[in-house]
């Protein structure tokens, strides 16, 4: 799938930076392997409807533990699937390398939702947390969804697993314009 960059991402980049020293992610559940550093996805969801719960949704991989090529496929599929679930808000997935810059993910608290994603073991599951800002009180939702097995994000079950977590993310974001929802 070929995605296009949108002017909306550029406009959001002009927002103010976060408070100094504020945490930017949820503590991920304990994993069997050491957690890798976060990877910011260049895929985002833009919502154009006036009643949208946010104007942009971005994604941060805080522990999916995938090879870079597979991570790119999962990141794109996740943005596409979340956008498809939020069509009532004129949502569309976009690709823009500027959103892979860590500084970009700490801006625009009121107009932006930040989604951290990870994979946990025993039992296999994929998790997410949704944020509206940088402080611990800005977490809107946290959940984990079961996976068919430990390699569900690596193999033929990947699209099914991504669809399931995307549905849960969209369900958590949709009713939460300004208040915690989890």
Q: Which of 77, 88, 75, 94 is nearest to 10 (CA)?
A: 94
Cβ atoms of 126 and 119 closer than 8 Å: yes
Kindly state the average pLDDT of the residues 53-68: 93
What is the extent of the structural domain holding 134? 54-182
Does the residue 173 lie in any domain? yes
Whether residue 22 lies inside any domain: the answer is: no
Assign residue 108 a region: left if phi > 0, alpha if psi is -120 to 50, beta otherwise? left
4, 6, 107, 1: which is closest to 54 by C-alpha?
107
The pLDDT assigned to 117 comes to 97
Instruction: Classify residue 12: in a domain, yes or no.
Output: no
Take residue 116 and report the two structure tokens written for it.
């951290």
**pLDDT value, residue 120:** 94
pLDDT tens-digit series, residues 96-107: 999 998 877 666
- Cβ-contact 78, 145 below 8 angstroms: no
Please indicate whether residue 106 or residue 182 has the higher confidence score (pLDDT). Answer: 106
Pairing, β 39-47 against β 91-95? antiparallel
Residue 49 maps to a domain: no
In a domain, 48, yes or no: no
Residue 112 neighbours by CB distance under 10 Å = 21
Examine the pLDDT at 61 and tell me if it is beyond 50.
yes
Residue 43 lies in a domain: no
Look at residue 34 and tell me if it is in a domain. no
Q: Is 0.85 surpassed by the pTM of this model? A: no
| 64 within 8 A of 128, measured Cβ to Cβ | no
| Among 156, 87, 162, 102, residue whose Cα is nearest residue 126 | 162
Q: In what order do the strands lie in the sheet with 139-146?
A: 91-95, 39-47, 56-61, 112-120, 125-131, 139-146
Q: What sign does the dihedral 69-117-9-50 (CA atoms) show? A: positive
Query: Which residues of the chain form beta strands (DSSP E)?
Result: 39-47, 56-61, 91-95, 112-120, 125-131, 139-146
| pLDDT tens track for 79-137 | 999 999 999 999 999 999 999 988 776 665 567 899 999 999 989 999 999 988 777 78
User: Per the domain annotation, does 91 fall within a domain?
Assistant: yes
Q: Number of folded domains in the chain? A: 1
């Amino acid at each position: 799938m070929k995605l296009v960059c949108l002017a909306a991402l550029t406009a959001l980049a002009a927002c103010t930076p976060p408070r100094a020293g504020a945490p930017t992610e949820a503590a991920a559940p304990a994993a069997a392997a050491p957690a890798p550093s976060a990877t910011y996805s260049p895929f985002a969801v833009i919502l154009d409807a006036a009643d949208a719960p946010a104007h942009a949704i971005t994604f941060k991989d805080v522990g999916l533990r995938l090879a870079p090529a597979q991570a790119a496929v999962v990141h794109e599929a996740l943005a596409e699937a979340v956008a498809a679930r939020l069509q009532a808000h004129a949502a569309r997935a976009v690709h823009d390398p500027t959103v892979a810059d860590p500084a970009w993910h700490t801006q625009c608290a009121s107009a932006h939702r930040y989604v951290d994603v990870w994979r946990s073991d025993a039992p296999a599951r994929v998790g997410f947390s949704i944020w509206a800002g940088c402080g611990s009180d800005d977490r809107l939702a946290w959940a984990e969804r079961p996976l068919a097995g430990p390699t569900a994000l690596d193999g033929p079950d990947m699209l099914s697993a991504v669809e399931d977590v995307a549905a849960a993310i969209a369900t958590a974001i949709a009713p939460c314009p300004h208040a915690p929802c989890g």
